[in-house]
Amino acid sequence: MSTLPTVAVLDYGSGNVHSAVRALEQAGAEVELTQDRQRLLNADGLVVPGVGAFAAVMEALTSTEAPRWIGQRIAGGRPVLGICVGHQVFFERGVEHGIVAEGLGEWPGEVTALPQDVVVPHMGWNTVNAPEGSVLFDGIEDERFYFVHSYAVQKWEFDRSIPQMAAPRVTWAHHGADFVAAVENGPLSATQFHPEKSGEAGQKLLRNWIDSLKS
């Protein structure tokens, strides 16, 4: 019987999931690509991938009732990791080509277009500015990660005036403007970049997340 942490990768029709599965396996997890409710709820960790348009990803997630299962995991303190558009959908809404789509609403804020005075999409390697105490970026604070996106959250709107609520750890990057590159918030973490395409730095980030599942 395997003693590795179990990770379920949400299968809702998103492309490019198999590279994420392989990267998670290489990082030390027992991984299953599934949309089975019990498997998604019971796994030590859940990964929500995503590529393409915000509205299309939300429509696909909703068609499989995934928002309900994701919400149950977060409410129960069960770890979830979003990647790329799977990061974006945890915010309140996305605005693409004039189309406004509601997100999962775990964090306040909008996903909007990056400035047009730089090359878009933002495609390639970029450094990040990780906060002190980050679990995801432990030991890789100065590394570069691989981004492919034209939209991002450019304003962090979390209300810091509520003392009972611990402020999430927010990592920033810059391409024409500062944007949120990652968030760590209790059981919920997410990255705008693709750790599975980010070489050794991405592998280390995934190992950091997988190791946190054991605690």
Residue type, 87: H
- Annotated active-site residue 18? The verdict is no
Angle at 9 between CA 147 and CA 193, to 5 degrees: 10
- Annotated active-site residue 84? The verdict is yes
- Choosing from 106, 110, 184, 196, the catalytic residue is 196
- Determine how many CB atoms are found less than 10 A away from the CB of residue 1: 2
Check: CB of residue 134 under 8 Å from CB of residue 141: yes
- Choosing from 84, 87, 106, 110, the catalytic residue is 84
Check: CB of residue 94 under 8 Å from CB of residue 54: yes
- Choosing from 87, 149, 175, 194, the catalytic residue is 194
Q: 144-149 and 151-153: which strand pairing?
A: unpaired
- Determine how many CB atoms are found less than 10 A away from the CB of residue 192: 29
- The number of CA neighbours under 13 Å toward the Cβ of 135 is 20
- Annotated active-site residue 196? The verdict is yes
- Which residues are catalytically annotated? 84, 194, 196
